[in-house]
C-alpha cells in the first residue's frame, strides 16, 4: 500500500516536472509570438525589412541599444533550448528506458562522433560547443516556421557567433606562443603580411554573411513570391465577388518554398556553420610550434633537475 | 513601430549574440552533455563489470573442466590397473588350479598303478600258491610217500621262485 502510494506520488511529481519543462520549452516562443503580433504594424504591398524594434535606449555609449525581435527571439530560443535539455535529461537511467533518453544519447554521441571525426579525438571537449552552435542556429532558423522573425536573418546575430568562433581560432593559435602567432602572419614571405591579415579577418565576416545571407534571402524570396502571388490572384480572380478578395494563389506554393528555404536551408546552414567552426579551430592549432615548445619545456625541466641534483 | 533596415550593424547586438551563444554552450554542456556522459560512463562501467564477471566465470568453468578431465583420466588409469591385476590374478589362479589338478591326477594314477601292481603281485602269489598246492597235491598223488611233503614243497617253491624271477626279469 505504502509502496504504491510512494510510487504514485513520485510519478505525479515526475509528471509535474515534465509539464513544467514542456511549458519552459513552449512558453518563451509563444511569448515572442504574442509580442510580435502586438507590435507588427499593418503593411501595404511588398515590405522587406529587418527585425522589429521593440525598445530603444539612446543613452548607451557608442551606439543606442535597440531591443529588437532578434534579441527577444534569441532569448526565447535560449530558454526553450534550456527547457529541451532539461526535459531530455529528466529521469536518466543507466538502462535506457525512455525515448527521450535515447534521443539525448543520440545527440551527444552524434556530436561527439562528428567532432572526433572532423577535429580529432583530442578536441572532443569542443563537442558541447559544436552542439550549441548547431542547436542554436537550427532553432533560430526554424523559428520562422511558427511565424517568428528568424534571428539568423539578422547579420548582427550571426556576426556575434562568428566573432566568438574567431576568438576561439585566435586562442587556439596563441597556444603555439604569441611570437609564433605573430610570425604566422609573415609566412611564406613578409610581403604577404597584409593579405594574411585580410584572410584572418575575413573568416568571421564570411561566416557571418554566409549564414545571414542564406536565411535572409529565403525570407526575401518568400516575401516577394507571396506578394506576387497575391497580386496575381487579385488580377485573375478579382472579378469574382467575395472569393476574389482572398489571395487564393498564396495557398500551397509558399509552403513548398518555405520547406526549402526555412527547413532545408536553415538546417544546412546550421551544419555548415558548425563544420566551418570545427575545421577552422582544428586547423588553426600550430601543432609543430606546440610540440617544439613542449620539447623545450621538458629540456628545461631536465636541465633544472640535473642542476638541482 | 519601426524596424531595422535589412542590413545594419549594431555593436550591442553582436555582443548580445556572442553572449547568447556562450550561454547556450554552457547550457548544453551543463544540462545535456554532463548528465548524458555520466550515464554513459556508468553504463560502460557496468558493462565492464559484467564482462569481468563473465570472464571470471568462464575461467572457473575451464578450470573445473580441466580438473574433471584429470580426475577422469586418473579414474581410467586406476580401472585399467585393476583390470590388469585381476586378469593376472585370474591367470595365476588358473595356472595353480591346473597344476594342482595335474599333480593330483598324477598322484591318483601313481596310486592306481601301485594298487594295480600290488594286486598283480597278490594275484601272482595266489596263483603261485595255487599252483604249488595243486602241484604238491598232484605230485603227492603221483609219488605217494616217496618224498616227504616238506621237502617236496621246498623243492617246488624253489622251482616256482625261479620261474617267478624269470618272469620278473622278463617283464
A152 and A295 belong to one structural domain: yes
Residues A180 and A83 placed together within one structural domain of the fold: no
Give A135's contacts in chain B (Cβ within 8 Å). 24, 28
Specify if A134 maps to a domain.
yes
Domain that holds residue A16: 1-41+50-91
Query: How many angstroms separate the CA atoms of A172 and A287, rounded?
Result: 10
- A277 with A176, same domain? yes
Q: Which residue from B10, B20, B24 is facing A63, i.e. has the nearest CB?
A: B10
Number of domains in chain A: 2
A53 burial via Cβ count (<10 Å: 0-12, 13-18, 19+): middle
Domains of chain B, residue spans? 12-170
Nearest CB to A159: which of B17, B19, B39?
A: B17
The chain B residue lying nearest A139, using CA atoms, is B24
Cβ distance of B17 and A216 shorter than 8 Å: no
- For residues A36 and A133, membership in a common domain is answered with no
Q: Please list every residue in chain B whose beta carbon sits closer than 8 Å to the beta carbon of residue A93.
A: 39
Four-point Cα dihedral B132, B138, B141, B142, nearest 10: -120
Is A146 among the domain residues?
A: yes
Residue A275 lies in a domain: yes
Same domain for A124 and A77 = no
Residue A109 in grid coordinates? 554521441
From the CA of A21, how many Å to the nearest CA of chain B? 13
Compute CA A258 distance to the chain's CA centroid, rounded to the nearest angstrom: 19
Residues in A closer than 8 angstroms to B15, CB to CB, are: 160
A230 and A174 share a domain? yes
pTM (two decimals)? 0.72
| Rounded distance between C-alpha atoms, residue A249 and residue A237, angstroms | 9
Same domain, A130 and A279: yes
- Taking the C-alpha atoms of residue A294 and residue A307, their distance in angstroms, rounded to an integer, is 20
For the stretch B103-148, pLDDT in tens is: 999 999 999 999 999 988 888 888 888 888 887 777 776 776 556 6
Q: What angle do CA B67, B73, B79 make, to 5 degrees?
A: 135
B168 pLDDT band, cuts 50/70/90, is: low
**Sign of the torsion angle spanned by Cα atoms A289, A295, A299, A302:** positive
- The predicted structure's pLDDT at residue B171: 46
For residues B148-160, average pLDDT: 77
Three-state secondary structure call for residue A239: coil
The answer to whether residues A166 and A80 belong to one domain is: no
pLDDT band at A38 (very low <50, low <70, confident <90, very high): confident
Q: How far apart are the C-alpha atoms of A269 and A59, rounded to whole Å?
A: 36
pLDDT tens digits along A255-273: 788 888 888 998 999 999 9
The answer for A285, left when phi > 0, alpha when psi is -120 to 50, beta otherwise, is beta
Interface of B with A (CB under 8 A): 1-25, 27-29, 31-33, 35-40, 42-43, 46
| A295/A211 same-domain check | yes
**Same-domain status, A304 and A254:** yes
Element (H, E) at B112: helix B34-143
Cell numbers standing for residue B13: 547586438
Q: Are residues A150 and A202 in the same domain?
A: yes
> In this complex, do A78 and B20 lie within 8 Å of one another by their Cβ atoms?
yes
Inter-chain contact A128–B29, Cβ cutoff 8 Å? yes
* A85 and A137 both lie in a single domain: no
Cβ contact B13:A71 at 8 Å: yes
Answer for the pair A164, B25: CB distance below 8 angstroms, yes or no: no
Amino acid at each position: 500500500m505504502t509502496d504504491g502510494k510512494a510510487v504514485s506520488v513520485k510519478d505525479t511529481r515526475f509528471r509535474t516536472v515534465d509539464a513544467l519543462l514542456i511549458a519552459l520549452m513552449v512558453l518563451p516562443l509563444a511569448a515572442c509570438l504574442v509580442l510580435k503580433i502586438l507590435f507588427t504594424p499593418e503593411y501595404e504591398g511588398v515590405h522587406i525589412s529587418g527585425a522589429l524594434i521593440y525598445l530603444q535606449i539612446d543613452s548607451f555609449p557608442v551606439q543606442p541599444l535597440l531591443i529588437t525581435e532578434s534579441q527577444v527571439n534569441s532569448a526565447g530560443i535560449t530558454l526553450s533550448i534550456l527547457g529541451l535539455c532539461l526535459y531530455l535529461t529528466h529521469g536518466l537511467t543507466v538502462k535506457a528506458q525512455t525515448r527521450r533518453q535515447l534521443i539525448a544519447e543520440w545527440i551527444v554521441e552524434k556530436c561527439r562522433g562528428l567532432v572526433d571525426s572532423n577535429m580529432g579525438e583530442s578536441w572532443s571537449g569542443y563537442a558541447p560547443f559544436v552542439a550549441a552552435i548547431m542547436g542554436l542556429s537550427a532553432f533560430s532558423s526554424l523559428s520562422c516556421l511558427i511565424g517568428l522573425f528568424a534571428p539568423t536573418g539578422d547579420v548582427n546575430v550571426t556576426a556575434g557567433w562568428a566573432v566568438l568562433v574567431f576568438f576561439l581560432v585566435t586562442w587556439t593559435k596563441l597556444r603555439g606562443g604569441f611570437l609564433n602567432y605573430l610570425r604566422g602572419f609573415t609566412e611564406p614571405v613578409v610581403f604577404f603580411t597584409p593579405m594574411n591579415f585580410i584572410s584572418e579577418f575575413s573568416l568571421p565576416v564570411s561566416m557571418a554573411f554566409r549564414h545571414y545571407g542564406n536565411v535572409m534571402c529565403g525570407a526575401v524570396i518568400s516575401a516577394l513570391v507571396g506578394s506576387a502571388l497575391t497580386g496575381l490572384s487579385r488580377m485573375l480572380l478579382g472579378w469574382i465577388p467575395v472569393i476574389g478578395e482572398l489571395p487564393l494563389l498564396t495557398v500551397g506554393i509558399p509552403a513548398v518554398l518555405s520547406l526549402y528555404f526555412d527547413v532545408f536551408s536553415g538546417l544546412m546552414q546550421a551544419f555548415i556553420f558548425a563544420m566551418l567552426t570545427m575545421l577552422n579551430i582544428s586547423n588553426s592549432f600550430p601543432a609543430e610550434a606546440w610540440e617544439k615548445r613542449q620539447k623545450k619545456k621538458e629540456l628545461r625541466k631536465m636541465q633544472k633537475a640535473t642542476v638541482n641534483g | 513601430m519601426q524596424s531595422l533596415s535589412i542590413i545594419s550593424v549594431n555593436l550591442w547586438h553582436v555582443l548580445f549574440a556572442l553572449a547568447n551563444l556562450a550561454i547556450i554552450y554552457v547550457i548544453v554542456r551543463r544540462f545535456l552533455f554532463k548528465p548524458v556522459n555520466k550515464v554513459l560512463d556508468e553504463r560502460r562501467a557496468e558493462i565492464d563489470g559484467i564482462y569481468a564477471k563473465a570472464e571470471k566465470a568462464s575461467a572457473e568453468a575451464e578450470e573445473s573442466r580441466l580438473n574433471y578431465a584429470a580426475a577422469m583420466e586418473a579414474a581410467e588409469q586406476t580401472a585399467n590397473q585393476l583390470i590388469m591385476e585381476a586378469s593376472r590374478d585370474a591367470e595365476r589362479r588358473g595356472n595353480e588350479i591346473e597344476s594342482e589338478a595335474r599333480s593330483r591326477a598324477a598322484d591318483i594314477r601313481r596310486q592306481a598303478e601301485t594298487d594295480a601292481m600290488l594286486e598283480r603281485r597278490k594275484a601272482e602269489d595266489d596263483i603261485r600258491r595255487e599252483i604249488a598246492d595243486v602241484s604238491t597235491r598232484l605230485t603227492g598223488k603221483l609219488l605217494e610217500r616217496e618224498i616227504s611233503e616238506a621237502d617236496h614243497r621246498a623243492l617246488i617253491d624253489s622251482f616256482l621262485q625261479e620261474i617267478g624271477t624269470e618272469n620278473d626279469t622278463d617283464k
